[in-house]
Amino acid sequence: MTINLQVPSMVCDGCVTTVTEAITTHEPEAKVEINLDTKQVKVETNASEESIKQIITAAGHTVE
Ligand SMILES: [Cu+2]
């Protein structure tokens, strides 16, 4: 399924890399698309929305 999350704490390409790598480290099959302008994180995965939120939070970012 596709999960859409808002992560307003991302402010630069480094943040995008951090969030992307955090997700793909935990969920190697996940496809991650991030739009830095809209702060939108789109994840195609079999993992639950809750677990993706936890991964992003553990990487130091805030899910709205
Ligand atoms: Cu950054």
Report how far ligand 1's centroid is from the alpha carbon of 57 (Å).
14
What are the φ and ψ backbone dihedral angles of 42, each rounded to 5 degrees? -110, 125
Over the stretch 27-45, which tens digit does the pLDDT of each residue have? 999 999 999 999 999 999 9
Instruction: Tell me how far apart the alpha carbons of residues 64 and 53 are, in angstroms, rounded to a whole number.
Output: 9
For residue 18, the model assigns a pLDDT of: 98
> Tell me: the pLDDT tens digits for 3-22?
999 999 999 999 999 999 99
Distance between Cα 13 and ligand 1 center (Å) = 6
DSSP assignment string, 2-53: EEEEE-TT--SHHHHHHHHHHHHHH-TT-EEEEETTTTEEEEE-SS-HHHHH
Give all domains of the chain, ordered by start, each with its CATH number: 2-58 (3.30.70.100)
Q: How far is the centre of ligand 1, averaged over its atoms, from the C-alpha of 18 (Å)? A: 8
